[in-house]
Amino acid sequence: MMKMHNPTRLRLLFVVAVIIPCLVLGVIAVRSIDREEAFVAMQLQRTFDAELVYTVSVINTELDRIMEELAGSAPAEVPASPGPSFTAWRSRSELVRVPFLLSPKLEIVWPALGADLTEDDRAFLNWNREFVTDKALVPVYQNVALVYKDEISKLAGTPFDRKDLAAEAQEKAEPAGGAKPPGERVVPVAAAPASREAKSRMNEAAVEQRALSQIEKDPDVRQQVLDQARAKGQRTEPRNVAPSTRFSPAKQPAPQESIYISEPRRFSEITAQGDRGLIPRFIDEKLSLLFWQRRPAGGFLGCVISDDAFRGRLAGLLPNVYTPSRILTILDEAGRPLLAPDAEEKRDWRRPFAAREISGKLPRWEVAAYLTDPDAVAARAGTTTTILWVLIVLIFLTIAGGGLSILQTIRSEMQLVRQKTTFVANVSHELKTPLTSIRMFAEMLKQGRQPDRAKQDKYLDLMVSETERLTRLINNVLDFSRAERGERKYEKRRLDAAWLTESLIEGQRVRLEHNGFAVSFRNDLGEAFIDGDEEALKQAVLNLLSNAEKYSGEDKRVDVEVSGTEGSVLINVKDRGRGVPPGDSKRIFEEFYRVDDAITAKAGGSGLGLPIALRIVRDHGGDIHYFPRDGGGSVFQIRLPLRGPS
Ligand code: ADP
């Protein structure tokens, strides 16, 4: 406690113990609130993403299956006039729309120009003649991660080590049951049959997998490889959608680039890579899929796939499209959903919560997930944020408020300690002064140095008056400690307040006049009966009188007036001193409080006179007020309730 007397130290303590922890808490809290929404969004995105990955893989499997189905249903033998067998093919598979046949020299055998051509045949020839006869090029789409896997490996910072990846891939290939008895030779299962070629294929697959995931999680790497692709003349294009994980659709997210880059190729180049395949072509911005298959006898057989049948097949693959939390659908090349609940007509399909491109065979197509009710999710996140904010503000206020009130308590305790110390010093001084004069007069009388009888009487009066001053001081201190302990008792009886005041003034007059004071007393009321303890009330008035004496300046006069209002008697003690500064007029009634000025310091005192007087008067149902006196000085007014008529 004593150490804390230094206010700077106290302030420092407050800053260290309250302000800094509060600020740290605030910063942590604000940051975690900021992350709250992002965290919820991330969780949702992960869930959706897993579904999207699954759907993409299902679609890709379906594409393979469609190819197999078409190859399986295609006529094995094609006669010189293939019309009827192609009609039969079309009736076997709803996916077949326009069959075609190419000679080994890439001449169009069917649709035969001479035969009567259907609308579809004509459209096929119109759009594809140049391409299938190897005269025109069409863009072929490829995943940039696969084309640039080695560059991605370098850009990733830690280049993918093919050896590690091979080991990893091998581990995956091994059957479960790694816990073999120690010492037993472990023969890697995959190693035995795996030829050198199979091994390197496995390595490549692992590298491709790494490249795919790297490009997905690192937008910088993706941007860099796309830039590289562009620099090499490969074409990049924007995606149809701009996925955004923000709940509130405040800002349109920046459109992303597709990870499928394209390069123009000839039919012969495309078909050189295998025995069958699918070629996507954009005709009037509409996707058209060409199926082709190499014939054992040379040349190619194929068809334009029926758009409706194809879309129907994919739509049938989708898991539950509409759930209370999300809508999952496939978007076509125009960004329109293949399947959408009726109620969702107005939805902005270009802004999914999460989306994935499907394949180079289906360029511009995506699987996309949307929040069914983004507002509800945003509102939920908003409520959590609000609750967190309220909690933070509450905690903050509690800590700060608690800290401040502790500081306040420490301060007032410190002030009290200081006041008590000053009080002891003041009281000792106050005791000493009257004792000194009593002793002086008593010695003079004892030594018989004053033969004048009248003077002797005056000395005796002064001694009595000084003794009274001593008594008053001691009474004040005793009363204070008694009142502090709640032990003060009053003996109340019927009293004339005017008489009580007058007799008190007359008792003090000699001493006051001896000290150069002009004393006046006026009674406007005559008799003023109250219920009161005579000694206590005398003490209260005496304290005011003594203050008037102590704090008077040059103009030494004390005027006491007794007047009345309805039901009350007013005792005004007035002086022509320097008055009480406005800021102190309430505080002077507090225990130990003394105005901080030169006159008060010189006058000496305990800071108990007014609080004790106030307590006594209040215990009698009255009050004391201070007013500045007109023309300078103070008026201390005691108001006491008059006794009822009984
Ligand atoms: P004390 O007189 O022992 O200091 P009090 O409680 O009686 O204690 O008074 C409190 C303070 O009020 C004094 O220290 C003084 O500054 C101020 N005060 C009281 N009476 C007067 C007065 N009549 N004129 C000017 N100041 C006064």
Residues 380-423: pLDDT tens digits? 777 877 888 888 888 888 888 888 888 888 888 888 888 778 77
pLDDT in tens, 247-289: 655 566 777 899 999 999 999 999 998 999 999 999 999 999 9
Which atom number of ligand 1 is nearest to the Cα of residue 573? 23
**Do 577 and 552 form a contact (C-beta atoms < 8 A)?**
yes
Sheet containing strand 108-110, strands side by side: 108-110, 96-102, 300-305, 286-294, 276-283
pLDDT 10s digits, 225-258: 999 999 999 999 999 888 877 665 556 677 789 9
Please state, as a whole number, how many other Cβ atoms lie within 10 Å of the Cβ of residue 570: 19
Nearest to 49 by CA among 323, 355, 349: 355
Q: Which of 34-38, 81-85, 160-164, 177-181 has the lowest mean pLDDT?
A: 177-181
Q: What is the structure's pLDDT at 187? A: 44
Say what the pLDDT of residue 173 is: 54
User: Which run of H or of E encompasses 528?
Assistant: none
In the prediction, which pLDDT does 244 show?
A: 78
- 367 CA to centre of ligand 1 in angstroms: 88
Contacts of 187 (CB under 8 A, 6+ apart): none
- The model's confidence at residue 603, banded by pLDDT at 50, 70 and 90, is confident
Q: Which among 305, 263, 268 is positioned nearest to 288, based on CA atoms? A: 305
Q: What percent of the chain has pLDDT over 90?
A: 42
* Angle between helices 307-317 and 20-73 in degrees, nearest 10: 130
**If you take atom 19 of ligand 1, which residue's CA is the nearest one?**
547
Q: Is the pLDDT confidence value at 367 over 70?
A: yes
Rounded average pLDDT over 365-381: 83
Residue 152 CB partners (closer than 8 Å, separation 6+): 145, 210, 211, 214, 215, 221, 225
The residues, any chain, with a CB within 8 Å of residue 100's CB and separated by 6 or more, are 108, 110, 111, 124, 128, 132, 301, 302, 303, 304
The residue that leads in pLDDT, 434 or 548, is 548
Coil, strand or helix at 278: strand
**Which residues make beta-bridge pairs with 616?**
none
End-to-end CA distance of the chain: 56
The atom of ligand 1 lying closest to the CA of 609 is 7
**3-state class percentages of the chain: helix first, strand second, coil last, to nearest 5:** 50, 20, 30
Query: What are the helix (H) ranges across 174-218?
Result: 196-217
Residue 168 has pLDDT above 70, yes or no: no
Closest atom of ligand 1 to CA, residue 597: 16
With a cut of 60, say whether residue 555 has pLDDT above it. yes
Spacing, Cα 560 to ligand 1 middle (Å): 17
Residue 243 buriedness (CB in 10 A; 0-12 / 13-18 / 19+): buried
What is the total residue count of the chain? 646
Sign of the dihedral through C-alpha 529, 530, 536, 541:
negative
Ligand 1 neighbours, Cβ below 6 Å, are: 543, 547-548, 550-551, 575, 577, 579-580, 588, 594-595, 600, 605-611, 634
Most confident by average pLDDT, 42-46, 435-439, 462-466, 470-474: 435-439
Instruction: Determine how β-strand 300-305 pairs with β-strand 286-294.
Output: antiparallel
More confident residue, 538 or 166: 538
Distance CA 337, CA 366 (A): 9
- The dihedral built from the CA positions of residue 434, 440, 443 and 444, taken in this order, carries a sign that is negative
Average pLDDT over residues 304-330: 88
By CB atoms closer than 10 A (0-12, 13-18, 19+), residue 345 is: exposed
What confidence category does residue 462 fall into, taking pLDDT thresholds of 50, 70 and 90?
Answer: confident
Token pair listed for 601: 């310091």
The contacts found for 116-125 with CB under 8 angstroms, 24 or more apart, are 120/304, 123/98, 124/98, 124/100, 124/304
Dihedral, 584, 588, 591, 597 alpha carbons, nearest 10? 70
At residue 475, does pLDDT exceed 70? yes
Hey, what are 267's tokens? 């039919």
- Average pLDDT value over all residues in the chain: 85
Q: Report pLDDT for 193.
A: 53
Atom 2 of ligand 1: nearest residue by CA position: 605
Higher pLDDT among residues 293 and 189, named by residue: 293
Task: Report the residue among 429, 472, 594, 626 best suited for mutation to probe ligand 1: largest number of ligand atoms under 8 A from its CB.
Answer: 594
Q: Report the pLDDT value the prediction gives residue 166, as an integer from 0 to 100.
A: 57
Higher pLDDT, 468 or 133: 133
Give the residue among 289, 281, 342 at the shortest CA–CA distance from 314.
289
**Per-residue b/e over 266-291, b at no fewer than 16 CB within 10 Å?**
bbeebbeeeebbbbbbeeeeebbbbb
Contact (CB, 8 A) for 534 and 495: yes
Residue written as token pair 């009066």: 461
Query: How far does the centroid of ligand 1 lie from the alpha carbon of residue 547, in Å?
Result: 6
- pLDDT attached to residue 458: 86
Q: How far apart are CA 330 and CA 212, in angstroms?
A: 21
Handedness of CA 271, 274, 278, 281 (dihedral sign): negative
CA distances to 35, 372, 515, 573, 609 from 480, in Å: 61, 76, 28, 22, 9
Give the pLDDT of residue 186: 42
Neighbours of 464 (CB within 10 A): 14
* Residue-wise pLDDT tens digits, 9-49: 777 887 888 788 878 877 887 787 777 777 778 888 888 99
- Please write the tens of the pLDDT for every residue from 170-221: 555 554 444 444 444 444 444 445 577 888 888 888 888 888 888 888 888 9
The pLDDT assigned to 164 comes to 59
Q: 567 CA distance to ligand 1 centroid (A)? A: 29
